[in-house]
Chains A and B, each alone.
Chain A
Amino acid sequence: MTEPTTEFPPPKILTLSSTHKPILITQGAEGRLYKTPSPFQPNQFCALKYRPPKPYRHPILDARLTKARISSEAKVLDRCYREGVPVPAVLAKDAAAGWMMIEWIEGEPVRVGINTWLGERPEDDAALDTTQEDETPLIDLMKRMGVAVGALHRTGVVHGDLTTSNMMLRPWADDRLPNGHGDKTEKAKAVAGDVVVIDFGLAMQSQSDEDRAVDLYVLERAFASTHPRAERLFHHILDSYRESFKKAPGVLHKLEDVRMRGRKRSMLG
């Protein structure tokens, strides 16, 4: 028993039956994410998000916080789904036990798709990157990201942790995939698919331009550090965001203030 699962015992819910072994996908600061069969949809998987007890916190306080956070995340997902924002549906939850099961989204995080597109070349290629290469597939993905974030903000939800890891790229059906063979098609496939927003652990309800602008700023910074070679294309996200709901231009105006403050802060400290 040298497997990491012994280090992190799975929640009780994953020990009740054992037709498939749960797969630990990520182990974050706040919780873990497992891939496991759906409880009641045959031959389908679900994502189980689990927040284990924190030993350093008072048990009563810890239980209350965990319950509130799972409930809050489930509630935001419900609201977004109803409103037509592409998010996974909730299947079941036991907030007191610290878990919820949500629809499994096929595909890879957007981060992986973009990195596949960019390839393995070193970062200092950035200047040489503006070759004649047709970047339309990547730009189209950025536009879909802007639309997804716009849809989210339009419903009155700010995400709190927008990154390319917290967006999934759900593959299209074959007939919508770019056809052909070779490297070019493979690259285009890596950035094809619907953008699905995940991880609402830090989300909250807000209609304020300021909160929305901070959401975009977090994405901008995360994008620049994760994909420095695509940074010059980031504006495509904002361009399509601008068109996605009525209040967007005001938010983008606010974003300039937020950037300014961000810069000042980094100069000071």
Chain B
Amino acid sequence: MSKRPATETSDPALTSKRPKPPSGVTMSLERIRLEHIPESYRVYGALFRDVSNASFLQAQLISRNPEFEYAFVDASTVLSRAHLLAAVWNAVYTSVEGNLRTPNVHSEVVASLNINNNIADGYRRWGITPDKTKDLVVVKILSSPDTLGDAQQEKDVWTRLTAQVKGRPVQLTDQEIAQVTDWQKVRKYYKMNGAPVLDQTKDEAEKRKKMESLAIMGMALRGL
């Protein structure tokens, strides 16, 4: 498995000019490690910029095409990696416990980003939207490892994904996510406007950490 050197992705100027690598050669797919879920689970994540086939992708979800079992999240509504992973963790945990509120673990990721129990509202705000979604987070959750091994599974997921999503893959890092976050939207969706803790915080990095905590807390308290 080849990983791009860190310097190449940390420079936004370079990142935005880089052409899409041929699929299967360079992987921007990442195996995500979560705690307190069964060890058999495999979770992969990727971020695509400038996606041109959002309408097609959403249509596949609606028609329940089994080739498209992913969580597609509009990246503008994600404020950090931990924010995204909180939703992924919740979806896997809910699935393990047999308490899914939506058809499957992937739709559960999208619904888990919401702070209320309205599932359609969750899809509309955090899910993929034709003509609106430009940057896309993709999460693939598998409940068991591949018999051919983790490396092969990772490669297969990536090969298929790059054939399906028309966009420019980048690493799923806090820096890359921050480039596409729509802060106004995030503030509204998580009811952060007027939160005294944010007004009291001057340092920008510290403020983002607090926004992340507020979002995660809103998700954890959903419906309370």
Residues of A participating in the B interface, judged by any CB pair closer than 8 Å: 13-14, 16-20, 36-42, 71, 74-75, 77-78, 81-84, 89-94, 97, 100, 103
Residues of B participating in the A interface, judged by any CB pair closer than 8 Å: 33-39, 82, 85-86, 88-90, 93, 96-97, 195-197, 200, 213-214, 216-218, 220-221, 224
> Does the CB pair B221–A16 fall under 8 Å?
no
Q: Which of A14, A36, A71, A82 is close to B196, meaning CB atoms less than 8 Å apart?
A: A82
With a cutoff of 8 Å between Cβ atoms, the chain B residues found around residue A38 in the complex are 35
Closest B residue, CB atoms, query A75? B224
> Does the CB pair A81–B217 fall under 8 Å?
yes
Q: Is the interface of B mostly helix, strand, loop or mixed?
A: helix
> Does the CB pair B217–A90 fall under 8 Å?
yes
With a cutoff of 8 Å between Cβ atoms, the chain B residues found around residue A14 in the complex are 36
Q: Is the interface of A mostly helix, strand, loop or mixed?
A: mixed
> Does the CB pair A40–B217 fall under 8 Å?
no
Report the minimal beta-carbon distance from A98 to chain B, rounded to whole angstroms: 13
With a cutoff of 8 Å between Cβ atoms, the chain A residues found around residue B217 in the complex are 77-78, 81, 89-91
Closest B residue, CB atoms, query A85? B197
> Does the CB pair A81–B35 fall under 8 Å?
no
> Does the CB pair A74–B221 fall under 8 Å?
yes
Q: Which of A39, A78, A83 is close to B36, meaning CB atoms less than 8 Å apart?
A: A39
> Does the CB pair A71–B224 fall under 8 Å?
yes
> Does the CB pair A40–B85 fall under 8 Å?
yes
With a cutoff of 8 Å between Cβ atoms, the chain B residues found around residue A92 in the complex are 86, 89-90, 93, 220
With a cutoff of 8 Å between Cβ atoms, the chain A residues found around residue B93 in the complex are 13, 39, 92, 94
Closest A residue, CB atoms, query B96? A16
